Amino acid sequence: MPIVVVNIKEGRTVDQKREMVSRMTDVLCDTMKVKPAAVRIIINEMKNDDFAIGGTLVCDAPSMQVKQP
């Protein structure tokens, strides 16, 4: 049973996450030769105050914040 953990910054829509897990499941089923029911995907969403780059919290440096499409 493949178990995948995905860490992303918060701000993605539910539709984006649905598409991501659907596509990831397809790839895992194809490469690992398992059925979709065997695939587990865990999504961890991080806020800007839970993520740092180079020793600085992203919330403290607006230039580091990723702009959502």
Q: By C-alpha distance, which of 12, 13, 41 is closest to 25?
A: 41
The number of CA neighbours under 13 Å toward the Cβ of 58 is: 14
Q: Answer yes or no: 2 catalytic.
A: yes
Q: How far is Cα 62 from Cα 51, in angstroms, rounded to an integer?
A: 13
Active-site residue identified among 2, 36, 62, 69: 2
Bridge partner residues of 52 (DSSP): 57
Which residues are designated catalytic?
2
